[in-house]
Amino acid sequence: MFNKFPIHFTYDGIRYTGEIKPLQTGLQHRIPTTFQVILNNVYCGLVRRSGADWETDSPKCAIMVDIIGNHIYDYYE
């Protein structure tokens, strides 16, 4: 459940690849709620699930937080 997994998508004409690392800081319905995000070999911050919404602590991925969150959600489906 806490294994890293890949992510890849295109946003605003830029191709992003990287990995998502679940953290053991909290669970919601047995799914982690906080994740470290690395895109194009750059640490982009934390993404957290807050109820049905996604939020981040980093301006680097703030505009893409819903896309990242949807990939995380799809991974656990």
Q: CA 62, CA 77: separation in Å to the nearest integer?
A: 23
Domain total of the chain: 1
Q: CA 50, CA 72: separation in Å to the nearest integer?
A: 13
Q: Which domain holds residue 19?
A: 5-76
Q: Which amino acid is at 14?
A: I
Q: CA 70, CA 76: separation in Å to the nearest integer?
A: 10
pLDDT at position 39 is 96
Instruction: Check pLDDT > 70 for residue 45.
Output: yes
Give per-residue pLDDT as tens, 56-72. Answer: 999 988 999 999 999 99
Centroid of chain to Cα 31: 13
Question: For a pLDDT cut of 70, what percent of the chain falls above it?
Answer: 99
pLDDT at position 77 is 85
Give per-residue pLDDT as tens, 2-19. Answer: 899 999 999 999 999 999
Instruction: Check pLDDT > 90 for residue 25.
Output: no
For 9, the 3-state DSSP assignment is strand
